[in-house]
Each structure stands twice: as C-alpha cells, then as structure tokens.
Structure 1
Amino acid sequence: MVTTVYDVTTFNGSVSPYTDIGKVINEIIADIKSNQTTQDTRPGAVIYIPPGHYDLLTRVVIDISFLTIKGSGHGFLSRAIHDDTSDTSNWFEVQPGSSHIRVKHTDGTDEAFLVRRSGAPAEVGRLNGIVFQDFCIDGVASTKPYVEGNHKIGISVQSDNDSFRFEGMGFVYLTQAMVVKGADACSFTNNFVAECGTSISLPGASQVAKITNNYLISAWAGYSVFAENAEGILISGNTILWACNITLINSNRCTVSANKLLSNFPSMIALTNGSSENLISGNHFRRVYGDGTSTRFDDLFGLVHINGDDNSVTANQFSFSVPAAGISPAGADPTLILVAGGARNYLATNKIKANLGVKVVLDSSSTDTKILYSAAESQLRAHTNDYKLVATP
C-alpha cells in the first residue's frame, strides 16, 4: 500500500535529515508525486519531523496541494538573549528545541521553504490546503534589526493559494518569517515569531486572511503585519511587542481587535493609500521608550495613522509613557491618532493615559471626521474645520 504519512528520520533518503533536511523533504515530495499521478488520486500527505536538531542546506520547494509538514513543538529559544549574554556555559539549553530546523543554506537561496507552482492559476489551479505546524525555523545568526540581516526567509508562498494554515510554529533570526502572496482564507494562529525583521507579510493581494492568537515580536526596521490590497483581514487576540507595526496599504473592511500592542516606536497601526471601512477596536496600545533606534517614523506620524474613508477607531486604550527627551522631533507634542486624509472617519470612546501632552490630529485633507469622547478639547489639533467633536470631559 502506498504511504501518505512520512517521517523524515525513517525515510530512505540520499542523506541524513540531520545533515540536510531540505534535501530529504524534497525527496519525499518527489516520492509523493510519483505515487499520486492523476487528478483524482492526489490526497496529499503528511511529513512528520520528530524532535531533534536538523540542518537545512537545500531549500524545500513545494508545488503540491494538501501537504502537511508538522513537528512536535515550536521550540523557540531567544537567540538574541543568548548572544547578548557574556557567559552561557551553565545554561541548560543554548539551542532552540523540539522540531528544530537550522537554516544553513549552501544552495544560494534565501527561503527555507518556497511554495510555488508553475503556470497560471486559471490553467493549472491554485495550491490548496497546505499546512505548516509545530516546528521551529531558525536563521541561526543575525544582528538587530534583522532587516536586511541574514536575508533568510522562513516560508515564502509565491503562487495563488487557498486555505493555507500556519499553526504553532516558531521563528527566530530571520529577515522575514512568513510571506504569503495571493492568499485566500489563509490562517496564522498560535505562532511564536521573535527576533525577526518582519513577522507576517501578505504582498500583492489577499482576502479574508485570519491572524489570531500569535506572539509577534519584530524589530523596528520591518513589520509585525504587512498587507497590501487586502480584503477583510481579521487581526485579533495577538500579543505584538517591541516594535509593533501593523501596516495595511489600500486594504479594506479589515478588523483589528482585542490585541495587546506594545512598541518603542510610533506607527503601531497604519491604514494608508485609501484603506477604507476598517475597524480598529478594543485594543490596548502601550507606547514606551526602550531598545532600538529608528528614524523611519517620528512622533507626529501617530500611533494610529489613517488615510482613507469610513474607518472606525473605537473603544481602545492608549497608554503613553515616553520621556520628553525621547520624542522626535524634539519638543513636539506626540500624536496618538492622525487622520491624515479621507472622509467620514469615526473616533469614539477611546481612553487616553499619557505622561506628555499628546494630541489627536486632523490634517487639512480630512473631511467630516467625527470624534466622540476620544480627546479633550486641549488634545485635539485640527487643521480643518470639517469635523464634529464631542470632547472628553
């Protein structure tokens, strides 16, 4: 009987998986393709990675649907803390663990896993139902802020796709952890991403992606979540730390709710290039001063930056605690929410606690903005008369 369940440690590959797990997984995929040869006989397969330390010298290329690659735990260990500690000789562990893949490319490529199918989707179909679950992808060595860093990418999906899942994964020391182009109903949940440049990137276009219950701890040169031309993303229940930056470009009807957001830098959520009808609600924004130096955004850009129509920012808690000397430009009043442009944006029942004279700012190109219990009169700076304010008492 033809198998559909593989174990990298027992598969009869040309090399040991501990020497080059990338080559072994490619050989397993070739075996799957040799056994599943017709349109009606391609159920896919499971590739299991038992706990262990595996080197990846060869990029894995996936061009089949319904493939699950799974391990037995995300195995994250902070490489930055290890590297910043002068003496680790008494530590019990100095490597990430569980099902741990060390990306040590010798084939001249950037990606550990590349998902790509040749041919136009209308002619050959989309890739469907691929799952990455419960293992660790480790870039081994890098330096802050990890962009460009070591140029390594954990998983890169470059073909149109449907119903992919990234669950329980660990990522460390990568320039980009997960890049998914052309995503339809893609789910990212319960992942632990830290000490990477960008955690999740959805370039090109996507629809109804779900980003939930993740730890995303990215540095200041990249993004926690980046999406362009997106429709209906749900970003909820995440803990996003260090340099929280959710940037949605020309993205509509997305929901960002119930997240714990902490950053040492401005621009925690940015809706740009006409992003419209989005909801930002029930999040806790905490802006502090700490590790890292960035000139990408100054404190006039806003923790929330809006340039689009009919967006709602409601029932959020803003906790701002930055020493005056840490504000850029020097002497400026930091902006919490900037409505840089667009019509009919709605700010309601947002709570502000700050150690400095923070502002909610309306630029001159904004129109018909409604502000309800989201700023005291002294906290509003309007460069337009086209707004309505019910001030916080």
Structure 2
Amino acid sequence: MSQELYDCIVIGAGIQGSFTSYHLAKKNKKTLLLEQFPLPHSRGSSHGQTRVIRKAYEHDFYVHMMEESYQLWSQLEKETNVQLYRRTGLLVMGPENGKEFQLLKTTLERNHVPTVNLLGDEFSKHIPLVNLTKGNGALVDTTAGVLYADRALKTVQGLFQRMGGVIKDGEEVNAIKPGSVVTVMTASGTYSAKSLVITAGSWANNLLSHTGLHLPLQVFKINVCYWKEKVPGSYSIHRRFPCFIQVESEESNHHIYGLPSNEYPGLMKLCYHIGPEIEPDERDRQTDREDIDILQRYVARCFPGLVPVPAVVESCMYTMTPDQHFILDSHPTYSNIVIGAGFSGHGFKFGPIVGKLLYELSQGEVPSYDLSPFRIRRFQTHSKSAL
C-alpha cells in the first residue's frame, strides 16, 4: 500500500504552527500537524490564558503586520463565534527623553495609530493606583488589549480539523529526510509531504539539526507572576484597567509588562521580559529568582495597590534571536522546508499573519510582506548538507 502524501506537514502545534495549518487547510491543502506533547499542554510558549495584543512597536513593519493580524483575529472570531480579544488599551511608560520611548511614540504617530498622551494630572485621573516615575512619559495605544490565548489556540486547531486537517499529538519527530518529497519520522509512523514547515519553538534547533542547519537561538525561562490586589478588582479587566509596558525602569533596562486581573480573580499578571537561559527539556531545574526580585522592587514602587510578593508563579519559554526579530524563511539548502522560529516573547499576537506568511512560503508564493527583517541570512548562518 502506498504511503499517504500530504501537501504539507507542520511540526509544532503552538499558535504559529496551528495558524499555518489553518491557512493551508483553508486553501484545500492536505495538511498534517504534528505535536510532540499530548494536547493541550503547558510545556512550550503558547499556553496560558492571556497575551497582550498591540500596535505599539518601534518598527513600521510590525505595525503594518499588526493591521492585518487584527483583521484576521476578528475574522476567526466571526468564523467560530468565539470571543478571542478584549480591548483594554495598552499603557506605555518610559523615560520621556529615552530613545526607546521616543521611537515608539513617533512610530505610532507616523502610522496614525490611535494614541492618547497622558501628562501630569491626567495620568493620575485616568490610571489610578499606578505611580508614574518622575521623568517618565506615558501614552496609551487605544487599539490594544488582551488575547485569550488558550481559547485562541483551541479554536484555531478545532477549525483546522473541521476543514479536514489532521492533528497527531504525542508524536515527537526523531528524523527528517529532505528531498523533493520530505519524509518525517516519529516513533508512531513515517509521513511524507511536498513541503514541511517547522514551528517547534524552543525545540527548533533540535529538529533543524536533521537538515544540517543551526540558528542562533537562545531559550529562556520566564517566570509568569501573578500579584494579589489589596482591594479585589482594583486592576481588573472588567474595570477596563489597561495592559502596560514599562520600557525602562529604575530596576532594569529590560521591559516589564502586565495585564489586568482576569484568569485568577484578584491577581494581576505582571512579568519581566527576560529570564535565565535554559535547555527546554530541563527548564524546571532552573530556579533563578533574580527576575522576581526585580519585579518585587518595581511593584512596591509603582503599583501601590498590589501586594509586592507574587501569589502565583508559573513558567513559559521565550526563544530569542540576537535582534529579537522573528525568523520567517525557507531553508537555505532545501526550499520546500520552511522555518518559523525565534518569536522572542512577542510573537503570539502575530499568529494569524505569521501563519499566512509561512503558508505562502511553503507553497512557493510571493510573501504578502517584505520578509527581509526575518530572513536567516541576516545572521550570516551557514548550512551544510544533511547527512
């Protein structure tokens, strides 16, 4: 009996792989989505109930991509009748004359993103229970809000399956054989396809080693911290408290970000945008709490309505590139192998548009956007033929 031939196999059922599969199935491409862990799981980068969605970026190309990403999120809501987004606004704080804050501000203005600047007394009036650091500016990206992450992942996977797509979870890939037909092997079976898309998050380089490619990716463990409100509801999504990003602070040059209380009643999500480097299969051996110490000092100083000790600490993984931009590209040796990697802790909101772009690359189509910021060649990485 001849083996079934797929149009495309996607490895990794996080948000990027799931949206890639969705776009493939929508175009009637016979698609297999492989996931190493039983679904749903919390071992990668796409789990958890909430993520920030925003247009507040320093780079025009991200703002332009987010325009369509918002539209695609809305389209998915209409297709499934499931709410995936709640508008809250995003408060951006940082040194008024700092390079990053000014760049964000001018990029938003240049792209006509609806924004409110908060000055002096206006800040206290509109954003209670937050202490704005002296010398800091503040603005609100009014289009921003909260994405319901777990719900989004489940929704897009379900729609992919309803369109005829196949998901096989609990199947770790142990070999990839490139060629005009790509062969993928797991402990449970061997699968073949005309093209392959790798969206394996922190395990990307493990898989790419089968193809002779190594990318400059680092994996970090992020402590996802939830902080108790002294008065329940003070920072609640139901009171339209905004998401926020502090681009620089007295405590650190790295971003601190937060989302209004939602998944745990009475607890606000507030995190540090970096952590210790780890091996993805051994992340729980890393117990470094330096980031939590930084957050405690920040919360005590700037969020007087929160108890400055985290009530709940969960974990997530960031897969970082040196410039913190994504990798969206075809393999330098095998054009029918496509890579989506290095989403650097800010990729979830781009899921619908990244999925579309990876679909286009997998089918040899001209991408909808200029992908030069996301090409592998920017790292001057060399590949060698797979053995």
The interval holding the TM-score normalised by the smaller chain is under 0.3
- The structure with the largest strand share of the pair is 1
State TM-score, norm by structure 2. Answer: 0.20
Larger Rg: 1
